[in-house]
Chain A
């Protein structure tokens, strides 16, 4: 927006005041001459010409807001009309006509009123021309600026020509062309230019239907009012009484305004019948656009469904709408979002026959009269006020993932056009929903992974951080979980300086549920170990506690032993766990020690106690014990072969003399080598005890 420099305002005003100054002399009766009249008109003309840039520069003209410009015009015209009625200028005109003498100088009051009117009406016309220019220039073409400029130019020309009216002087430019005739020619050109400029009414296209309707009613008042104003001003133009040049300019300015708004009004009337259609297409386009935007920004399925239904209802101008999404293969469809559905209708969900109907279609379908369609019964039971229905299944490939419905309260509410529109709409919605689901599932997965990582860390903390020291023996242990969390467990309990409790166990099942029971088991063992110095007693007590606290289909297998380093012996029980391997330092064959026993949690007590056998084994320096869980023997390679107890025993046979730490690493290495690229499916734990 260009700023109006002070010069462009001050200079015309100064010139205008110059004219007024001359008038004051006349009023004072100092002198009065024809030459002064010309000087006065000359100054005023110059002032007018210099103020013309105001049309181009004024604030209103650079404002692109159509409605604001139109509203300004409306108030200006209404205000001027009222002002004209109040000030009643007719007497001046009548006086002027009857006396043939200029009423301007009749009295000081006359002079004041007429000068004020002249100044006001000239400024008014400048503002009006600026506003019209704004409207005309909204859709600018090559010749727009030229035509408007020519109009302004000829307006001034025609005004200047009126100088000849000051006296009876009639310039004769040539034999045929007097100044009067020239005036007609100019007027002809001016009116043609006005009409030419008045065809530039493209701004009507930019209005929406509501605005067009408002404008239509506004125009009904404005157009006749403007013509009245024009006629009134034409007959009693105060500006003309002040100065003929200004008079003509103001007169023509009002004429241009009258022509322009009349032609605009006619154009508007022609636009009205298509306004509805035009409006709808714009709304459809913008809805599609909004939906496309939603696709890229909205990953919340619920909000996305809301947006989809809202836009679908808006675009088809429906009374209600809802989106049902498939919940699974056999589950009924879920009502994901709805518009104008009562709580009872929402709670009931979409009735089966209606959603099934959509699945069967796989094609958009329009029901003009629900009462006469196959959906009559379910619809009237569920939502009786829907009389016409449009259903568009959301298709992902050949599969319907949902269905979008819009309904109207009257029959024949939708057209083919709506159906096509909604189809395009649904294709966008499918993409959006699919994206949202992908994001959702990846978020869920991420959260699960995070939780499992936390669980894994928590579980690792349940295992001993370091090996206990017991004089005369070396200990080492390792636990590898197949998943983030597992059910394998080992622990040590100090009994006295020579004795140590040792446990290795395996909870049935896998993952989180096994891990919880493992934590429970740890608590039970920790509570019982100090109390019982016989493995059998301890396990009987542990079984009793555990049996009451776990599901029947879960059990725990473990070996519990008490190592007495001073006496060089170990006493242990095998409660369903894998056998214990014992390799004497002498190098003789590895003993597979498998005392009788039963898993914990399988039996209430009697059978368990009966089955459990306590085993005592003495050891000497260099003897090694290997405790393991079934993950070690059931480890499988890519061909599906198991590692087996046989392989483990022979491996232990070869390497039992290694220090426990190296032996443990060796065992893990060998088993990992055997498994290769295959995914391990069970936890694996070793505890090694070696006498020094």
Chain B
């Protein structure tokens, strides 16, 4: 099985999750844990960076669906950025762009979060 990794980059009022590798039914729990941990810490402004993700399955997409309601009820959001065309296609087919804000570039996404003092530099 291919590897999957979540790298967490904490900003002041925003956390970026870089997801790397292969996100499917087997690796989805890793991402679930990472997001759950953020919610436990009351961190609800989440940006997911897809730049290094090579594959996403329906189970992987389900992870975001599982959390979005709770995040939004706490006035936060899960936003996405830097998807490869192939991965964007999967999101698009399912109609995800009407549910999530998806950005081409990380900087564009960062600017949309309130009171953000740039977490991108920590990389």
Contact = CB atoms under 8 A, between A and B. Distances in A.
Interface string B51-74: 000000111011101101100000
A555 B98 contact: no
Given A509-B25, A551-B66, A553-B65, A599 B94 contact: yes
B24 interface: yes
Contact of B95 (A507, A602, A630, A634): A602
Which of B25, B61, B66, B93 has most A Cβ within 10 Å? B93
Contacts of B57: 634, 682
A578 interface: yes
Interface in A441-491: none
A578 B2 CA distance: 25
Interface residues of B, number: 20
A508 B95 contact: no
Which of B2, B62, B93, B95 has most A Cβ within 10 Å? B95
Contact of A508 (B61, B69, B93, B99): B61
B44 to A, nearest CB: 16
B62 A603 contact: no
A557 interface: yes
A536 B61 CA distance: 24
Which of B63, B90, B98 has most A Cβ within 10 Å? B98
B93 A557 contact: yes
A243 interface: no
A577 B92 CA distance: 10
Contact of B94 (A552, A579, A602, A640): A602
A296 B45 CA distance: 60
A506 interface: yes
Interface in A311-348: none
B86 to A, nearest CB: 8
Interface in A575-610: 575-579, 594, 596-599, 602-603, 607, 610
A682 B66 CA distance: 22
B2 to A, nearest CB: 8
Contacts of A634: 57
Which of A510, A553, A594 has most B Cβ within 10 Å? A553
Contacts of A554: 62, 65
A525 B46 CA distance: 37
Say whether chain B's binding surface is mostly helix, strand, loop, or mixed: helix
A602 B65 contact: yes
Interface in B27-67: 57-59, 61-63, 65-66
A126 to B, nearest CB: 87
A597 B68 CA distance: 20
B25 A607 contact: no
B99 A555 contact: no
A681 interface: yes
A552 B63 CA distance: 9
Say whether chain A's binding surface is mostly helix, strand, loop, or mixed: loop
Interface string A115-138: 000000000000000000000000
B66 to A, nearest CB: 3
Contacts of A552: 65-66, 68-69
Interface size class of A (residues with CB under 8 A): 20 to 34
B95 A509 contact: no
Contact of B24 (A602, A630, A681): A681
Contact of B58 (A509, A596, A610): A509
Contacts of B93: 557, 576-579, 594
Nearest to B90: A630
Interface in A672-692: 681-682
A50 interface: no
A20 interface: no
Contacts of B65: 552-555, 602
Contacts of A599: 94-95
A71 to B, nearest CB: 73
A578 B93 CA distance: 7
Contacts of A507: 58
Contacts of B69: 552
Contacts of B24: 681
A611 B59 contact: no
Contacts of B66: 551-553
A509 B94 contact: no
A598 B94 contact: yes
Contacts of A594: 93
B62 A508 contact: yes
A557 B61 CA distance: 12
Interface in B1-39: 2, 24-25
A607 B99 contact: yes
A552 B64 CA distance: 9
17 contacts: A508-B61, A509-B58, A509-B62, A511-B25, A552-B65, A552-B69, A554-B62, A555-B62, A555-B94, A557-B58, A596-B95, A597-B95, A599-B95, A602-B99, A607-B99, A610-B98, A611-B98
Given A509-B62, A598-B95, A602-B95, 14 more contacts: A507-B58, A508-B59, A508-B61, A511-B25, A555-B58, A555-B61, A557-B94, A576-B94, A603-B99, A607-B98, A607-B99, A611-B95, A630-B90, A682-B57
The 4 A-B pairs at the shortest CB distance, nearest first, are namely A598-B95, A553-B66, A508-B58, A553-B62
